Every structure is written in C-alpha cells, then in structure tokens.
Chains A and B, each alone.
With several copies, the nearest count.
Chain A
C-alpha cells in the first residue's frame, strides 16, 4: 500500500486537521467531532445545509463548506457513514434558527444514520428536513431494491440548494429546489483500478491490466459490467447512453455537465472525456450551459471517472450561476 499517510487509524482526523489548517478563513472543526462547519456558523436566519458520508470522497464533503454551499460536512470513517451523534452535533452547531436541510446520499447506512440524527434534533426542537440523492443510473431502480446510489450528482445539490439558502430561501423552498435537482440529475461512473481503504491495507477487488469496470460505485461496489479496456470515446458513449436513456432531455434543452475524476485519473484524461460528452450533446442539440471538470466526489486513489448531467430550467440556472466560495468549489 503506497500512501502518503502516517497511520491508517488516524487518517480522517489528520486530514480534517490539515483542512482546517489550510482554510481557517472558510472552516473550523467541532472539537471532539469529525465535523467541519463554516467559520462563521451558525449563520443567523439562514437555512443551514448539512451533508456528509464516509471519508475517502474528498473534497466531498467538507471541501464544500462555505458561502453559497454547505454549512457543515460530517466525515465518517473511510467509506463508512458517520454516526448520528456526529450528525446531530453538526445540526446543532449550524442551525441559525431557520432550520436545517440534511443532504443524504442513498445508502442504507447513510439514510439510517441521518434519520436518527434528525430524530434527535427534532426532539430538541430544531426544524430539520432532508433529501436523499440517488443519481447513479448504473443501479436499477425498482420497487424491490433500495434504489439508486447517490454519487457525484450530490455536488449539484450542494451548489443549488446552497445558493437558494444563501439567497434567503425558507427551509421548504430550499428542500424543494434540492428535490428538483435530484429529479433532474443523473450520473454514472467507471473504474480502471480499485483503491485501498487504509485500514484494510489491500484492495477490495482486482481488475487485470486489460480490464475495466463500468458502473462502479464510489466505495468500490461492483458495477454493471466488467469489460476489456475501451477507448475514452467508447467509455463516454456507454455512460452517456445510460444517462440519456434515463434523463428526459431533448433537443433544445439545457444541461450542466460534470466530468468527475475518482482520484487517480489526471485532468488530461477528464478533459478528453469531456470532449466526447460535449460532442454527443451537441449532436443531439442539447445545449451545455456550464461544465465542471475535476475531482468532486472521489474514491481515494481509484483511477476512473463519472459523468453527471443536470437538466436545467431558469431557476436552476440562476442558482447554479450564483457565487460560491468554499475550499473546493469557487465560483465568481
């Protein structure tokens, strides 16, 4: 295991300390908890946004704490949902009296832990709502299953709901726009290599030199198929066709695109993926309103990428355009 770490047991704490030391103008840490909140939290009168999940997805989630996005990011152990007490502390620390929206990714553990935290907060009289992101079209959505996973599309929920809250939206309004994003966002990912959870010390699965996994989840959950290596254009074709089959967009519609690296893939390759994604959309007459290319929701050092499309309307466009100022996501 080749990692720049000191001790697998303390990676999360040390990472959070490194973050607070890097960005004290943006964030602080709640003493005794793996919770990062806005330096100026709680912001009186503003709806507060709390997101979180397992660690290993950096810059998610604490990297999005700041003006125009999140009020708190809760960091669980690597790839493990944070516990309710941590989430509860986050809620208490950021509630500015206007209520708190929890942004949950659709994993059984995350859903249950956030739900318990919500119950705890409500017992203390804090107004709490929640939304669950499920953008990963790799997983079949049927009444028999727990539904799709939440992956990189979550970042658009942070951005847009964050802008709404920053603009003074009420809890119900912020929740409504978050749900609108969830309804209109779809993602799918793939991986060239596995990653190593520090505490495990070895990869959870293997891929040979000529194999890739399509539909990979962000914790190394299996995808929809394992295939021979494909060219970048074929990969994009495949991901985009699954996404476009599920998202009702047609010629004349406008979308935001996110090409997200999983940690080990260089920007050069992400840009090559974006070229093809953008060509496909152009051919279909779908207008790209904004594009984000970089690392937004990672899986440690996994090599691979995901593509996210968000169908826009005027409300979503103006909220997407709003400024944001956080350690990992800035928009002027």
Chain B
C-alpha cells in the first residue's frame, strides 16, 4: 500500500459520500436513544471537510488529516464533533510531515485516532459508543499486521461491524443515551455505526481493484 496526498483526499471524499448517504439512517438511530442529530451533524461536518481539503493535494498527509480534524471540530458540534475531530487530529500528528503513507503508518494513525477518542470521551469498550466499533478494528489491524494489508483490513472492518452490532445488546454508559439506562437496550449506537461506515468506506477505497 502507498497512499499519497491525492489518494488520501480521495479516500476522505469517499468517507464523506458514505456519511452523506447515511444521513437519515444515522439520524434515525440517534432519534431512538439520543437527540436525532447525529447524521445531520456529521454530514454537515464532512461537507465542510470536502470543501476544505479538495485542493490540498500539495500538502503532506499529516496536514491533511489535521485539517480534517479541525474542520470536524469546528463544524459538527455536539459529542461527535470533538470526538471524531480529535481522532483525525491525532491521526494527523501520528503521520506528521509524511507525503506518503504505508501500512505501518496506517496502523499508527488508527491507533492514534482511537487513543484520541478515548482521551476525549473517557469511554471504555462496552459503554455503547464509537469505541465499541473502533477499538476492535484497531486491535484486529495490529493482530493481523503480519498477514498483510488486505487480510488485516478486511478483518478490521469485520470486527468493527461486530462491535457495532454488539452495541444493541448493551446499556449506554456514556453520552446522551446513558440517561435512558435500561431503555437504551435493543438500539444500535449511532456513533458506533458512523464509525463502521467510515472504516468500511476507507477499506473499500484502499482495496479498490483487489479481489474481495
């Protein structure tokens, strides 16, 4: 794998498209256990991101990722803005100055993103948040690192999906859904869902052309 700035921008645009496609779906999930704005906030944020990074092809990958993070932070609002914003900013720091990313860089930036979210949100796995999708994905990526990009990435997406689905079975302990207590059971977490959607979009674009 070799991702240069142009390709990175391309991947982020694909992520943005997927988030926009799922605007209603994410909002609907949030209306069950939150305040019905997750899809609205996220798509607003990624619309701004696409505008900001479209002509950043000359910049290094770290700068691009940091710009994504800062843009999300300043446009999304609510809980997901600072969370995803911090994730992208930390990811950018992890690959600061690089004009091309390899598989190892991908692992580092994903680790940094996860750390950023956990630092910002103080959530652990099992609390019905983004972490429930992201942490298993990052672990799979590290665990399968030896087996190469394709296997590792497919496994990571698979684990994210499982984590997202698992959020149906647990009680929310963090975020707005936690006020619901027991009543949050049975509902899939919007943030874990948007996280899965983003990972899947990224993987699909990275593996483009590879047989699935």
Asked whether any CB of chain B lies closer than 8 Å to the CB of A204, the reply is yes
CB of B95 to closest CB in A, whole Å: 21
Which residue in B74, B79, B180, B181 is a CB contact (below 8 Å) of A109?
Answer: B79
Residues of chain A within 8 A of B183, CB atoms compared: 222
Which residue in B36, B41, B176, B179 is a CB contact (below 8 Å) of A200?
Answer: B36
B179 touches A81 (CB 8 A): no
Asked whether any CB of chain A lies closer than 8 Å to the CB of B63, the reply is no
- Majority SS at the chain B contact face: helix
Of the listed residues A81, A83, A116, the one surrounded by the most CB atoms of chain B closer than 10 A to its CB is: A83
CB of A90 to closest CB in B, whole Å: 14
Residues of chain A within 8 A of B180, CB atoms compared: 222
CB of A70 to closest CB in B, whole Å: 20
Which chain B residue has the least Cβ–Cβ distance from A148?
B179
Cα–Cα distance between A281 and B12 once the two chains are bound (Å): 49
Knowing A79-B35, A80-B37 are in contact, say whether A108-B74 is a contact too (CB < 8 A).
no
User: What total of chain A residues lie within 8 Å of the partner, measured CB to CB?
Assistant: 32
Asked whether any CB of chain A lies closer than 8 Å to the CB of B81, the reply is yes
CB of A199 to closest CB in B, whole Å: 7
Which chain A residue has the least Cβ–Cβ distance from B83?
A112
User: What total of chain B residues lie within 8 Å of the partner, measured CB to CB?
Assistant: 30
Residues of chain A within 8 A of B79, CB atoms compared: 81, 107-109, 112
CB of B126 to closest CB in A, whole Å: 11
Cα–Cα distance between A305 and B153 once the two chains are bound (Å): 52
Cα–Cα distance between A250 and B172 once the two chains are bound (Å): 36
Asked whether any CB of chain A lies closer than 8 Å to the CB of B73, the reply is yes
Within 8 A of B (CB), among A171-211: 197, 199-200, 204
Asked whether any CB of chain B lies closer than 8 Å to the CB of A77, the reply is yes
Which residue in A80, A84, A86, A221 is a CB contact (below 8 Å) of B179?
Answer: A221
Pairs of residues from A and B, 9 with the lowest C-beta to C-beta distance, nearest first: A112-B82, A109-B78, A109-B79, A85-B74, A108-B79, A80-B77, A108-B175, A83-B74, A145-B178
Task: Identify the A interface with B (CB < 8 A).
Answer: 76-77, 79-86, 107-109, 112-113, 115-116, 139-140, 144-146, 149, 197, 199-200, 204, 217, 219-222
Could you list 23 A-B pairs, sorted by A, with CB under 8 Å?
A: A80-B41, A80-B78, A82-B77, A83-B75, A83-B76, A83-B77, A84-B82, A85-B73, A107-B176, A108-B121, A108-B174, A109-B80, A115-B82, A116-B73, A139-B179, A140-B181, A145-B173, A146-B175, A197-B36, A199-B40, A217-B179, A221-B179, A222-B180
Task: Identify the B interface with A (CB < 8 A).
Answer: 31, 35-37, 40-41, 73-83, 85-86, 120-121, 173-176, 178-181, 183
